[in-house]
Structure 1
Amino acid sequence: MTETERRSVIVERDFTHPPEKLWRALTQPHLIEDWIGMKSDFKPETGHSFRFSADWGGVDCQVIEVEPHRTLAYKWDAYGLESVVTWTLTPTSTGTHLRMEQAGFRADQQQAFNGASASWPRFIAKMDEVLGTLE
């Protein structure tokens, strides 16, 4: 990999819930905290700057794309990692196909790449648990 090449972490999962329910989990701060384990002042508005915060520190973010119930993307900047997280919701006959991509890992960011590769599947599994509790 050259210095200009970037890598992505991609997690895909099928849910038995409709896109509207996943959208709630992706955009309502109290639900986001339940599955990602960080507080935020998130709003699904293009240009909105927000921060994920936890006892270890935080992540500065800015919403760059909002298409309700379909696509959500935001910049994710933390500890020298400048990346973009994109959520894509595709309706299926049994619910929703979720695709999450965190793009922008440089070759010298192996630790961040490994951390994201391990964390996102756990976060998304936890999201499924949270979705099961919603009406």
Structure 2
Amino acid sequence: MTASALTSEFLDALGARTCIRVEFYDPTGSRYGFPTFPFRLAPDFLATRRQLRAEGLCPGGYDPVAQILWRHRKQRRVAYLYRRDLARPKRTASPAQLAVIERMLTARRTCGTCGVVRDYYIPRRTGTCLSCETGGRS
């Protein structure tokens, strides 16, 4: 991945034409210490974890190579970017793992007092269903 691959012709031309520096555009990493792009203006060969997950991929153990910075409600937000070409297919759970998960979720819906499996998760604070709670709904 070269520095020229990280530059944006649009943002470079905008800066040259108007002499206005885009706040979160730093493809070389000289200002933020990490290649940085504004919201929605990252190169196509980079993706966030969420974008990789939507494509059925995961970062594959590799560290992020760039970041996206933006402001939201007076806070600076960051999203790390990973290379798509290094991403691997995400792991899938085995049938035994899926069976264990199903049993765990059923246990969360089973009332500790009456033993009925409800269609909602039992509150951990009480450990009983809403019908069995003291003063609960009937």
Q: Same fold (TM over 0.5)?
A: no
Higher strand share: 1
Q: Which has the larger radius of gyration?
A: 2
The TM-score, its normalising length taken from structure 1, stands at 0.21
Tell me which of the two structures has the higher relative contact order, counting C-alpha pairs closer than 8 angstroms and 6 or more residues apart.
1
The TM-score, its normalising length taken from structure 2, stands at 0.21
